[in-house]
Chain A
Amino acid sequence: MTTAGDRPDPWVERRRHDRSDVLSTSLLMELTTITVDPAYVEAAARRAARGESPPDFRTSSGAAVMLVLLGLLAAVAFSHTRKAAPATARVRRGLVARIQHLTKQTDAAGTDLEELRQQVADDRDRALAASAADRQLAQSLRSLETAAAATAVSGPGVVLRLSDAPPAADTATRVQDRDLQRAVNIAWSAGAEAVAVNGQRLGPLTAIRQAGDSILVDYRPVASPYVVRAIGDQGALELAFTVGDASSTLRAVARSLDFGYAVERGNNLQLAGTSTTRVVVATPAGPRSAVEGSLAP
């Protein structure tokens, strides 16, 4: 505007056109201030020009028809919402009941399996009691089974209790699958002979992984507090969990995220056998006769 002549300053001109900052708020302003539909104003002006008086909403037949429509719509929407809510709840209840029923069935089948395994083991021991060679075979079978986590074991060991940060914390400060994996790996590296997490025995093929908000051990959900029980050299295990290098990361994580982390000795830990012992792909490299039976129950 200070330039000579009537050519406008381009910068000022651009500022005048660039009203984006004004527009962004004007949309909201318009929404709250200009509430009466401009179409009404225009129609009223046209009618005033013709010299007619405005009709009344309350006696207008067009408005009445529209209001019948509104009432109909509202009643139908209302009844549909009312009907849909219990239906959703019913479906949910049904699903929960089915899950619980199937979980119970699975548990019962697991107990049966355990019993049958025991029976098989007993029968086998009886059959293999005749000669010294047979007893030798039974012995090696039993040690192989223990190594494969196929049978229940007991013995002295160490118990690690790992729990989520106290409530009022968000999901980020909950124990995750990798924390549990780390804890289990510490136990193995310290020479643990058998490890279980919340009662789920870990076999060679057992996975610990996250599924949504929960952690699955052997495809079964486990929840905080997580109890890692490891049978092995108590001194070595305790050392590994409390001061060892292997657990430094886990301990740092637990400290900074406010996890519960407690290690104690257990003199007679009882660990159940794992349910997944079937080896599908691998075949034993040595003489097959001794190993085969124990791995494919």
Chain B
Amino acid sequence: MIAFAGLLFGVVLGIVVHPTVPLWLEPYLPLAVVAAMDAVFGGLRATLDRIFDEKVFVVSFLSNTLVAALIVFFGDQLGVGGQLSTAIVVVLGIRIFSNVAAIRRHVFRA
């Protein structure tokens, strides 16, 4: 439960402290969130499969967010930022969906 407490704490921290994000970083935030969500659902799924690993989770979380932001950054430089964001959202969206479906199968046996 400590993990979910951490999530809640992070949200509250973000709302209360309200850190100012530099303007150039702003476009990459939403995609970083989506990528991080993908990693979190992957981790949850792995827990239910009894193969969770802390190191793998931390590395996948950080690399996911970084790579998503980097791809969008390079896309912006090349003038295809919008299309690449769409591609990332589609791919990660599918993965989140199938991971949640797997979690659902685990939890409800259906």
Contact = CB atoms under 8 A, between A and B. Distances in A.
B110 interface: no
Max chain B Cβ within 10 angstroms of own Cβ: one of A33, A44, A60, A70: A70
A54 B53 contact: yes
B29 interface: yes
A55 to B, nearest CB: 6
A95 interface: no
B14 interface: yes
B51 A72 contact: no
Interface stretch (A73-81, A202-210, A281-289): A73-81
Given A55-B54, A66-B61, A70-B10, A40 B49 contact: yes
B45 A35 contact: yes
Interface string A21-45: 0000000000111011101110110
A73 B19 CA distance: 10
18 contacts: A39-B56, A40-B53, A43-B51, A43-B55, A43-B56, A44-B53, A56-B47, A57-B47, A58-B1, A59-B1, A66-B61, A67-B3, A71-B6, A72-B13, A73-B33, A75-B11, A76-B14, A79-B14
Interface in A48-97: 54-77, 79-81
Contacts of B12: 71, 75
Given A57-B44, A67-B40, A44 B51 contact: yes
Given A44-B50, A74-B14, A80 B26 contact: yes
Contacts of A126: none
Nearest to B62: A66
Contacts of A56: 47, 52
A52 B3 CA distance: 21
B11 A64 contact: no
B20 to A, nearest CB: 9
B4 interface: yes
B65 to A, nearest CB: 8
A19 to B, nearest CB: 22
A57 B15 CA distance: 25
Contacts of A178: none
Most buried by A among B42, B52, B53: B53
B3 A58 contact: yes
Contacts of B58: 62-63, 65-66
Nearest to A69: B10
Interface string A244-270: 000000000000000000000000000
B98 interface: yes
A75 B67 CA distance: 20
B5 A64 contact: yes
B49 A68 contact: no
A47 interface: yes
A159 to B, nearest CB: 47
A71 B47 contact: no
B37 interface: yes
A45 B36 CA distance: 25
B87 to A, nearest CB: 12
A73 B29 contact: yes
Given A35-B102, A60-B54, 10 more contacts: A32-B94, A35-B99, A40-B56, A44-B50, A47-B53, A55-B54, A58-B2, A63-B57, A74-B14, A75-B14
A37 B11 CA distance: 26
A51 to B, nearest CB: 15
A80 B56 contact: no
A182 to B, nearest CB: 38
Contacts of A63: 3, 6, 43, 54, 57-58
B8 interface: yes
Contacts of A79: 14-15, 18
